[in-house]
Structure 1
Amino acid sequence: MRLQVIDLDGSVACQEPLRRRIDAGEGTCIDAGDLAARLRIVASREAGAGLLDRLAASGRDGSGPPVYFYGSGDFHHLTALLLRTVSEPVTVIHFDNHPDWVQFPATVNCGAWVNRALELPQIRKVVTIGPCSGDLVRPEWQFANLRAVEAERIALFPWRHAPSRVWRRYDAAASFRQEGSHLHWRNLAEEDWTEFLDDLLPAIPTQAVWLTIDKDVLGRGEAVTNWDQGELTLAHLIAAVERLAAERRIVGVDVCGDWSEPRFSDPFRAALAFFDHPPRRRPSAEDLAVNARTNAALINCFTQVLP
């Protein structure tokens, strides 16, 4: 694999498991702190283009697929930019406590990036695994792209969530059934994980897959993030990565979900963060150490399963 740390917010480049690999020449660190204020929450076109230019300039030293670590989940929409570098049909496997499927506004932002990805001709499908968040409460009111779920361009598998109240009629899909005015999701917490993966693999329409991991899919014992968090365990996540790598070809990975102090240069992004984030807290260094441990476990997994 080709490990690349995109240093936007200082949250990952200093972590021992990443710093050690960078110092040993086993990874690259791209300084992008000057772009962070224009990428956080919503990416400006100029900042997004500037980031892709820096990644291209960093070269392609080493072999294997790229593996990016880039800090807070406030930057998760960078996945939609990274996917532009893929030149073959690919399925995105998306681990997250949030579906990131909002249709409005049509910008590159952390709540809508899945739709930006689906606009790319090479993206065949996005499979979202793990949400527990309130995004599934009256999703139509929150501009959710349920038509893409109905068409199975998005397959959404919550870890645990009550049925979603809807007003329109949707045909059944692999991840839900409709009963009256509610969508009943296939809750993974109620299933055998291996059996779910057995069902998932045949539903992936491409040999190539891209993995995108927001650590807010994990509980507080295994990650500390800027967002509300789910209940998936790290063991489940690693088992899924191992199975996907064994039966599909992973062409890229990106990982976010570390905590950093939100800093903005404009009131628009600051307001969005204020209303979307849970109540602000300042975790201790001991609290944040869990992120380094989880990132180390993920790196060890990627090292073993990626070419």
Structure 2
Amino acid sequence: MAEIVIMDFSGIYKEEQFFEGEKVSWLDVREIPGTNCYCDDEAKTQILEKLEEFSAGGIYFIDSGNYHYMSRIGIERVKEPFRLLVFDNHTDMQLPAFGGLLSCGGWIASAIEEAENLVEVWLVGPDEEAYSQVEEPLKEKVKFFSREMLQDFRNNESYSEKTNNMERNVMDFSFLGEIPTDLPLYVSIDKDVLGTTDASTTWSQGDMTLGEMMAALEFVTRHFKEAGGKILQVDICGECDPDGADNERNDAANRELLKFWKNFFAEQEDRGALL
């Protein structure tokens, strides 16, 4: 059974219920200084020490987008060549502004430059203007699907005719079927790629619906299942600040994502046992 780890940086998960009834590992990291938006070396060392008791796989909830650099730390624990699939409203490829500190806005750039086992990044969600500001050498390892491309799918006639048909939504993400399955895949989801109807985050948000995201994930996982590929780990961020904001949308999205990935990893584990 896939491990479910909840990393508590801000206390926000205490206001949610999506994990109730599940066997979860609760990792309290609120007392580690130097973690909000940026992660210094001492904080990174302490986090890695706490993660030693958990596998480099499974389902990780990593709090708000302020801590999306946890994906970079998770990647560091992967000891084999792999690809990375990211859903995010931002490129997270900003070069560091403060002495090379790992940041929530630059963790993908750090991974591309430093993670030897990372072969390729598939990035879904940011707008084309944001991506145009990414340094050209970083783009050499990136396959990019923009917010505008998703909007084009919505606006075409075939989409509007079948807008409520989940199968049609899956077809709209057929480009994800081009992800090679010869290497394992690491999946990172920031709920700020979703519109405000489906999530409330600390950062500017996109306009993908939760239904569209689930359709995309269904397409990816089916593609890997049919090809006998492997998905290593998924991490999920995009909570709001614990300041009394309405968090029901995040809780509902987390519940859907947890159910989906829990079922997927159970099936993947069963397939592996039969080989």
Query: Under a length normalisation based on structure 2, what TM-score does the superposition of the two structures give?
Result: 0.81
Q: Is the 8 A contact 2:5 2:60 kept in 1?
A: yes
Provide the secondary structure at the position in 1 that maps to 2:45. Answer: helix
- The structure with higher relative contact order (CA 8 Å, sep 6+) is 2
Seen in structure 2, the aligned counterparts of structure 1 residues 130 and 306 have a Cα distance that, compared at 3 Å, is same
Moved over 6 A (4+): none
What residue ranges of structure 1 are gaps of 5+ in the alignment? 161-186, 262-281
Q: How many residues align?
A: 243
Name the structure 1 match of 2:250.
291
User: Aligned in 2, Cα 1:30/1:232: closer, same or farther, shift over 3 Å?
Assistant: same
For 2:176, what is the secondary structure of its paired residue?
helix
Deviation at 1:95, TM superposition (A): 0.3
The whole-number CA distance in structure 2 between the counterparts of 1:154 and 1:206 is 17
Q: Contact between 1:15 and 1:292, CA under 8 Å: does it hold in 2? A: yes
Helix, strand or coil for the counterpart of 2:52? helix
Q: Which residue of 2 aligns with 1:158?
A: 146
* 1:50 match: 46
d(CA) in 2 for partners of 1:34, 1:219: 32
Please tell me whether the aligned partners of residues 97 and 132 of structure 1 are also in contact (alpha carbons under 8 angstroms).
Answer: yes
Establish whether residue 18 from structure 1 lines up as the match of residue 12 from structure 2: no
Distance 1:298 1:237 in 2: 9
Partner of 2:31: 34
Distance 1:48 1:304 in 2: 31
Equivalent in the alignment of 2:138: 148
Equivalent position of 1:184 in the other structure? none
Letter of the structure 1 residue corresponding to residue 79 of structure 2 = S
What amino acid sits opposite 1:15 in the alignment? E
Q: What runs of 5+ residues in structure 2 fail to find an aligned partner?
A: 154-158, 160-168, 225-229, 267-275
**Secondary structure in structure 2 of the residue aligned to 1:33:** coil
| CA-atom RMSD in angstroms | 2.1
Deviates more, 1:191-200 or 1:2-11: 191-200
Q: Percent identity?
A: 23
Specify the alignment match of 2:193 in structure 1. 217
Q: Which residue among 124, 128, 133 is the counterpart of 2:123?
A: 128
| 1:17 aligned counterpart, secondary structure | coil
Superposed CA offset, 1:6-61 (max 9, x none): 1111112442122432xxxx1100111112x411111011111111111113x44x
Q: Does structure 2 conserve the Cα–Cα contact (< 8 Å) formed by 1:8 and 1:32?
A: yes
Cα distance in 1 between the residues matched to 2:130 and 2:175: 25
Q: Offset at 1:81?
A: 0.4
The match for 1:245 is 221
Asked if the contact 2:16–2:247 (Cα under 8 Å) also holds between the matched residues in 1, the reply is: no
SS of equivalent to 2:31:
helix
Residue in 1 aligned with 2:87?
A: 95
Residue type of the partner of 1:122? N
Q: Contact 1:13/1:19 (CA < 8 Å) preserved in 2?
A: no
Residue 300 of structure 1 and its aligned partner are, at CA, apart by 1.0
Residue number in structure 2 paired with 1:305: 264
